[in-house]
Structure 1
Amino acid sequence: MRASRLVTLLLLLQNRGRMTAGQLAEELEVSVRTVYRDVEALGSAGVPLYGEAGHAGGYRLVDGYRTRLTGLTAEEAQAAFLAALPGTAADLGLGGALATARLKLRAALPAELRAHADRIQQRFLLDAPGWYADADDTPHLTAVADAVWARRTVRLRYRRWRAPEEITRQVRPYGLVLKAGRWYLVADGPSGLRTYRVDQILELTALEEEFTVPEDFSLAAHWSRELAGFHARLHTGHALVRLTPEGARRLGVPPAAEGWTRARVPIESIDHAHGEFLRLGTDVEVLEPPALRDRLAATVRALASRYGSPS
């Protein structure tokens, strides 16, 4: 722990120049006395740093002392900083490690590339979850991540949507996926590879049994197949509709040159399509299937009755 702190202290001085003991203590979340001891240890190890007294004083590294990471282009440095997701790393218990790694990377970059990396952080931010969804409660995420790293089998009690609603499985966790702010575990178990929502894990026990992931397994390729299968299962029917230019734009359909646009669009189910098409209001008319058209017509009549006369 102390070795990591000494490296972080060194990189802070390398990145920021002069810093007081109080500023270092705040950054490192230690006492000022601990900073004094760490500075003395660095000096004893041959690191050329010195202290300046007075109002403008503090600790500094001798000019020209720095480590360098060679071989990075400007684009590679930008990509490295753009790929660093503090929230995700913190969820996995790696927030401190990520902060230190970024500090090391920035300190090792030449001044020009450091400026490129700084501009990335100033101008781009990734906030994955949607506006209207609360963050999932994932108390077992860190334990799941530990099992993924260690390649260790786990026993989990899991809540699912079909009966029986609670099941217990012993699985081999292959990998974690973050999709739209929600964590999923890809694991091999009694029924082969399955995907589990981490927020639906009710209880998790790490076992002593270790496992080896097959050499031909690719988490990215597996997830792509899962998504393709999901979309194939999701849209099992079609609807024939007429759309105004605004309706075509909102539905993502190429509009006709003028007037209404006829289009055949995939739908998940009558219930789901009913709600989705109601959102378009008068910008859509459903022609087929008859069951969906009748369902919408009944809803429109009910709305007209409700809003047609004062309460």
Structure 2
Amino acid sequence: MSESRLFKIIYYLLDKGQASAPELAEICEVSVRTIYRDIDMLSGAGIPIYANTGRNGGIRLQDHFVLRNAVLSEKEKQEILMGIQSLSAIQYPTADNILVKLGAIFQTTQSNWIEVDFSRWGSVQEKEQKVFCILKQAILEREVIQFTYYFSCGNRLRRDAEPVKLLYKDRSWYVFAFCPDKSDYRLFRVSRMKEIILTGKTFEMKAEGTNFVLPMPEDWGTLLQLELNFPDECSYRLYDTFDESVILKTESGYKVQVALPENEWLYDFIMSFGDNVTVIRPEHLKENIIKRFENALQHYRKEQ
């Protein structure tokens, strides 16, 4: 259910007086059946909306109805405006217009309290926004997407997927989607999804997709119980990366005890500290890091 669509219906009826279901369906870009479901939802929420049958009939609001005098408290109106402001911050289409119109209807204003920039440093903002527009359309319209996915092991594959939702976790965006190749749900990191297209094929949401346990990305590796020591000067990076509950202050610096998947990110992260980190356990992680540093040293010696 799209809350912005419900308010769009209310605003349109306040502005026009009445409208037919096909007219509202065209404006909202949904089916007539969806409009009737929306009307039932609004009516159930206490909005005095009804439909007249006959030649001059249509859907209308009760005469003299004003949204600001309905079931919404001042706090609820502010929360609605704040919610739509968050949509505007992520460049949701028409959110700015809805925000202005609802502000006028509520006879209140909402400060610009949030701003979100999807793009990464050094990237082309318009290009990344286009990616999110494609993913949003695919999720809302239940459309299969196709993309090239780059795995941490260096492989790349062309994949089809049925996207369910976007997820932001640990400073990265993911698409939670059903993967026909694996016959299961997967998490795909958006930054590794390239050449994303809409296939034009639609899909039905599977029952398990509405009540799921979020999986780990398929190339994340197995979890390791880590114990790492860092000097004082690394504190800012530790708090950038880890929850404070896994960071212990010691006399000589910091100790981190955390479970993380063994993958390329883990090795890159630990090695990025150079000699400012000591791996206490597991032992094989320390040995692998030593080999990687030795290989890097040999590589640069060959270059000289």
TM-score normalised by length of structure 1: 0.51
Residue 76 of structure 2 is aligned to residue 76 of structure 1: yes
Contact 2:230–2:253, Cα closer than 8 Å, also in 1: yes
Aligned match of 1:204: 198
2:205 pairs with one of 199, 207, 213: 213
1:88 is the counterpart of 2:90? yes
| Structure 2 residue aligned with 1:161 | 150
Pairing partner for 2:115 from 110, 113, 125: 125
Aligned residue for 2:117, secondary structure, equals coil
**Percent identity over paired residues:** 15
Shift in CA distance, 186/132, structure 1 to aligned 2, threshold 3 Å: same
Partner of 1:102, secondary structure, is: helix
Aligned residues: 222
Aligned to 2:56: none
1:149-197 deviation per Cα after TM superposition (whole angstroms, max 9, x unaligned): 444x54x54312369844464x6x4534153574636246362434556
2:104 equivalent to 1:107 = yes
CA-to-aligned-CA distance 1:195-232 (integer Å, 9 cap, x gap): 5567534443314xx654346643xx54x613xx3499
Q: Specify whether residues 231 and 108 from structure 1 end up closer, same or farther in structure 2 by C-alpha distance, changes over 3 A only.
A: farther
| Distance of 1:280 and 1:299 partners within structure 2 | 12
1:237 to 221, 224, 232: 224
Specify the code of the residue in structure 2 equivalent to 1:184. V
Q: What is the CA distance between 1:143 and its match in structure 2?
A: 5.5
SS in 2 for 1:241: strand
CA distance in 2, matches of 1:174, 1:270: 25
User: Residue deviations 1:35-80, cap 9 Å, x none?
Assistant: xxxxxxxxxxxxxxxxxxxxxxxxxxxxxx9954333334333333
CA gap 1:274/1:195 in 2 versus in 1, 3 angstroms: closer
Query: Contact between 2:164 and 2:178, CA under 8 Å: does it hold in 1?
Result: yes
The letter for the 1-side match of 2:227 is L
Shift of 1:255: 0.8
Cα 1:150–1:125 shift into 2, 3 Å: closer
Alignment gaps of 5+ in structure 2 = 1-7, 16-63, 239-243
Aligned residue number for residue 193 of structure 1: 185
Cα RMSD (Å): 4.7
Matched, 1:286 2:279: yes
SS of alignment partner, residue 160 of structure 1:
strand
- 8 Å CA contact 1:239, 1:267 repeated in 2: yes
| Native 8 Å contact 1:237 1:267 kept in 2 | yes
- For structure 1, list consecutive stretches of 5 or more residues without a partner in the other structure: 12-64
> In structure 2, do the counterparts of structure 1 residues 232 and 80 end up closer, same or farther at CA, with 3 Å as the change threshold?
farther
Task: Answer with 1 or 2: which has the greater Rg.
Answer: 1
Look up the match of 1:15.
Answer: none
TM-score, normalisation: structure 2: 0.51
Contact 2:148/2:157 (<8 A) preserved? yes
CA distance in 2 between partners of 1:150 and 1:87 (Å): 22
Q: Distance in 2 between matches of 1:274 and 1:167?
A: 27
Give the distance between the partners of 2:236 and 2:138, measured in 1 at CA: 46
Deviation string, structure 1 residues 242-273 (Cα, Å, up to 9, x no partner): 333444564241213x3355554444448544
Is the Cα–Cα contact under 8 Å of residues 243 and 260 in structure 1 kept in the other structure? yes
Is contact 2:148-2:159 (8 Å) kept? Answer: no
Aligned equivalent of 2:60? none
Letter in 1 for 2:268: G
Q: Within 2, Cα distance between the matches of 1:193 and 1:271?
A: 23
Name the SS for the 2:248 alignment partner: coil
Tell me the amino acid that sits aligned with residue 205 of structure 2: V
1:285 deviates by: 2.4
CA distance in 1, matches of 2:79, 2:71: 14
- Provide closer, same or farther for how the CA distance between residues 269 and 147 of structure 1 changes in structure 2, counting only shifts above 3 A: closer
What CA distance in whole angstroms lies between the structure 2 residues aligned with 1:299 and 1:275? 11
Q: Please, which of 269, 278, 296 is the counterpart of residue 276 of structure 1?
A: 269
Separation (CA, whole Å) in 1 of partners of 2:219 and 2:159: 29
Q: Could you say what secondary structure the match of 2:102 adopts?
A: helix
- Hey, what does 1:51 align to over in structure 2? none
Does the 8 A contact of 2:90 with 2:115 survive in 1?
A: no
